[in-house]
């Protein structure tokens, strides 16, 4: 299943996350980085010099016939606008999470891609990491039984303690649900299948927050989104997962994801990472058992694994895993948390999605493709 050729990639957006993508792309020979661009040319020039790449304007990148996939690493509010421009230029699009800041936006992008006969996809691709694929294999084996319930928890005191420019986390398009929810919800869909309905409550305890990190230490940020959200996700499989997503928790001792099956409970590691320990425990045992992580991509940062899978999928004529359908389903679920909280009702999820195929289906010699 090795690729016959490399797939040309152009990157738009050279901010904080771009370095992780550029470093990880070195592990995937199928990806040929043609050039990078940013609305601020000096930012693109600096990043290009750091990685030995070519910086061009956004317009030049979109016009380059060698570019087949645009990797969209702009801020969340620009994801759909930039994605639509890339589709109009005849490029496939892979976006940083989330797909858009509203479900309506996401549907517009998905419709444009379908009309153009092009692919869209989105982060996170961490669910393709070895530990999460190992957890998936355990559940698929039936050894845990039917998953009845579980918890999914991300909680921290806020990104203003480390990020150099954290204001966008508290602006429209930010908040813990759109920022961290994609990791947790995407992994849960990978593990359990599609979501059926959502219930939630939310709070915004601080209307403005101070920045503790340099270079803007001491400045105040307005808070325009909910920063503490608690809810329930019911899956078509029957599982009910309790969810907490918060920027208002000083510290906690909860694990990221716990799943409770009729035969075993399973502990799933941080879905923001590719690796970590997977553990299981049956009611007849006194200790948690480490599940050997046998799948690849668990030992480092592989942010761009989803792009590489898309590139191989283009060459092989198969679906890619970090797909637009998956990202749109997750976006609808995330927006449902806000709707459920505001209207005090359960919100039904209507976007259909199938669980992505296990990554093992495309592994050859221990690597994708």
Q: Which CATH number fits domain 7-126+302-323+350-368: 3.40.50.720, 3.40.47.10, 3.40.50.620, 3.40.50.880?
A: 3.40.50.720
Q: Which residues contact 117 (CB under 8 A, 6 or more apart)?
A: none
Q: How confident is the model at residue 172 (pLDDT cuts 50, 70, 90)?
A: confident
Query: What is the domain partition of the chain in residue ranges?
Result: 7-126+302-323+350-368, 130-291
Rounded average pLDDT over 60-80: 96
- The answer to whether the beta carbons of residues 289 and 313 sit under 8 Å apart is no
Q: Report residue 2's pLDDT band, with 50, 70 and 90 as the boundaries.
A: very low
Strand partners, 232: 199, 242
Q: How far apart are CA 149 and CA 189, in angstroms?
A: 14
| Overall average pLDDT of the 35-44 stretch | 97
pLDDT at residue 113, as a whole number:
98
Give me the pLDDT at residue 3, please.
Answer: 43
Average pLDDT, integer, range 248-265: 98
**Structure confidence at residue 201 (pLDDT):** 98
pLDDT, tens digit, 9 for 90 and up, residues 264-293: 999 999 999 999 999 999 999 999 999 999
Q: Is 225 left (phi over 0), alpha (psi -120 to 50) or beta?
A: beta
Is the bond preceding 98 in cis, omega lying within 30 degrees of 0?
yes
The pLDDT value recorded for residue 6 is 96
The pLDDT of 29-54, averaged and rounded, is: 97
CATH superfamily of 130-291: Dihydrodipicolinate Reductase; domain 2 (3.30.360.10)
Kindly state the helix (H) or strand (E) to which residue 23 belongs, with its residue range: helix 18-25
Per residue in 191-223, pLDDT tens? 999 999 999 999 999 999 999 999 999 999 999
| 3 state DSSP class of 281 | strand
Say yes or no to pLDDT of 262 above 80: yes
Residue 68 has pLDDT above 70, yes or no: yes
Q: What is the mean pLDDT of the chain?
A: 96
pLDDT one-digit tens code per residue, 110-122: 999 999 999 999 9
Confidence of residue 366 (pLDDT cuts 50, 70, 90): confident
According to DSSP, the residues that pair with 275 across neighbouring strands are none
User: Would you place residue 315 in the very low, low, confident or very high pLDDT band (cuts 50, 70, 90)?
Assistant: very high
> Could you give the C-alpha distances from 355 to 183, 188, 208, 320, in angstroms and in order?
15, 10, 39, 11
User: pLDDT tens across 157-166, in order?
Assistant: 999 999 999 9
Query: What's the pLDDT score for residue 191?
Result: 98
Kindly tell me if the per-residue pLDDT of 1 is higher than 70: no
Q: Which two tokens stand for residue 112?
A: 């444009």
């Amino acid at each position: 299943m090795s690729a016959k050729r490399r797939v040309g990639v152009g990157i738009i957006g050279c901010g904080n996350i771009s370095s992780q993508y550029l470093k990880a792309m070195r592990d995937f020979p199928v990806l040929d980085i043609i050039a990078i661009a940013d609305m601020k040319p000096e930012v693109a020039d600096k990043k290009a010099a750091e990685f030995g790449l070519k910086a061009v304007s956004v317009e030049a990148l979109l016009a380059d016939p060698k570019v087949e996939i645009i990797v969209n690493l702009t801020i969340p509010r620009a994801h759909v606008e930039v994605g639509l421009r890339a589709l109009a230029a005849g490029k496939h699009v892979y976006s940083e999470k989330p797909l858009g800041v509203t479900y309506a936006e996401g549907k517009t992008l998905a419709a444009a891609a379908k009309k153009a006969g092009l692919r869209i996809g989105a982060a996170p691709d961490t669910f393709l990491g070895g530990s999460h694929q190992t957890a998936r294999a355990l559940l698929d084996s039936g050894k845990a039984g039917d998953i009845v319930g579980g918890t999914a928890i991300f909680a921290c005191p806020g990104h203003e303690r480390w990020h150099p420019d954290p204001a966008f986390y508290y602006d429209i398009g930010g908040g813990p649900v759109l920022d961290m929810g994609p990791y947790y919800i995407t992994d849960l869909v990978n593990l359990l299948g599609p979501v059926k309905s959502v219930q939630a409550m939310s709070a915004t305890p601080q209307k403005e927050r101070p920045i503790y990190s340099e270079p803007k230490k001491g400045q105040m940020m307005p808070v325009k989104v909910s920063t503490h959200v608690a809810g329930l996700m019911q899956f078509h499989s029957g599982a009910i997962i309790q969810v907490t997503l918060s920027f208002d928790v000083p510290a906690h001792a909860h694990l990221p994801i716990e799943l409770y099956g009729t035969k075993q409970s399973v502990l799933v590691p941080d879905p923001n990472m590719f690796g970590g320990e997977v553990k299981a425990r049956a009611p007849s045992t006194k200790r948690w058992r480490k599940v050997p992580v046998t799948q690849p991509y668990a030992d480092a940062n592989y942010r761009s694994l989803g792009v590489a899978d898309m590139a191989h999928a283009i060459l092989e004529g198969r679906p890619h895993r970090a797909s637009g359908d998956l990202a749109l389903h997750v976006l609808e679920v995330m927006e449902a948390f806000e709707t459920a909280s505001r209207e005090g009702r359960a919100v039904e999820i209507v976007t259909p999605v199938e669980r992505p195929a296990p990554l093992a289906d495309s592994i050859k010699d221990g690597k994708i493709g």
